[in-house]
Amino acid sequence: MINEADLKFFDEMGYLVVPNVLTDADLQLMRKRIKDIFSSGEYKVSPFNTDRVLSDVYNAFPEFIDITLNEKILGMIKQVLGDKPVLMPETAIHHKWYTGWHKDTTTQEKMGYTFHHQPESLMIECGFYLQDNDELGGGLTVMEGSHKTTDLYTKPRPPKSLSNRIATKILGDKDPLGDHLNPNHHKIVDIDSKAGDMVIFNFKTNHRATFPRTVKPEEVPEEKSKIAFFNAFSVNNSTANEYLEFILNRPEPFYQNLKTRKLNENLLNKAKQLDFTVI
């Protein structure tokens, strides 16, 4: 479970790792099933999926409901967000997919939404990485405390300074001095998560996928290939509906399924059983 010190850490740093949340059996089952979904082409069950990202996971693959939404997991989500947290319709699986630096509020900020700046607004991603995060990547990299600083990713990147260009040449593009990426000089951390840990992060935390350091992404061996399962939750106040309105207006293909989406019966039952909200 999460203790007071964990909650304080989450509040200050904008992320938290809870070790050993998935059982070994569930972890192996999820890895195998997800690899099968991609290798067999079953991911094409929804036209909104790609061979890298599955959206609206619970509707197409309800077998993941019991594993990723159980009493222990919801108990911890409630410790962070309070009673009746809202599961947003954004459950996703990333497969060999690596994102660059962003906040999960960057797009809404760019589109002119401001509800995430309200003091009572809080949304989190709850991720399960199905491999250790190590030199082959496979987890999350964050800027500690960046949920408290302005979103710089809404603006086009300024040209790199001379010192940054030199550092990049020497060190490669590995956040060296990062004057355009990290002007607030947050500490950058590759989160030391192990397969089956739960990684929680604030939507406003600057983050990206941890890239493999020793090989190219396409050279990561299959047994270590990156698979991550994400649930987005909101505190139970107007944030959830405002966020829903925002994603309903997002133009990307990934979000078009929301317009005709029906809530899955198993998911509704699970929400009733564990006292959380689905919209």
Ligand X SMILES: O=C(O)CCC(=O)C(=O)O
Residue numbers at the binding site for ligand X (CB under 6 A): 94, 99, 104, 125, 140, 207, 209, 228, 230
Q: C-beta of 125: minimal distance to ligand X in Å? A: 5
Look at phi and psi of residue 33 and say left if phi exceeds 0, alpha if psi is from -120 to 50, else beta.
alpha
Phi, psi of 134 (to 5 degrees): -145, -155
Q: How far is CA 191 from CA 15, 143, 144, 187, 229, in A?
A: 9, 10, 10, 12, 16
Q: C-beta of 203: minimal distance to ligand X in Å? A: 8
Q: C-beta of 222: minimal distance to ligand X in Å? A: 18
Q: C-beta of 177: minimal distance to ligand X in Å? A: 23
Round to whole Å and give the CA distance between 202 and 97: 20
Instruction: Using DSSP, state whether 178 is helix, strand or coil.
Output: coil
Residue closer to ligand X by CB (options 116, 207) is 207
Residue closer to ligand X by CB (options 61, 153) is 153
CB-based closest residue to ligand X:
209
Residue closer to ligand X by CB (options 121, 167) is 121
Q: Identify the CA nearest to 177 among candidates 193, 198, 161.
A: 161
Residue closer to ligand X by CB (options 53, 164) is 53
Residue closer to ligand X by CB (options 167, 181) is 181
Q: C-beta of 40: minimal distance to ligand X in Å? A: 22
Q: Identify the CA nearest to 98 among candidates 220, 217, 224.
A: 217
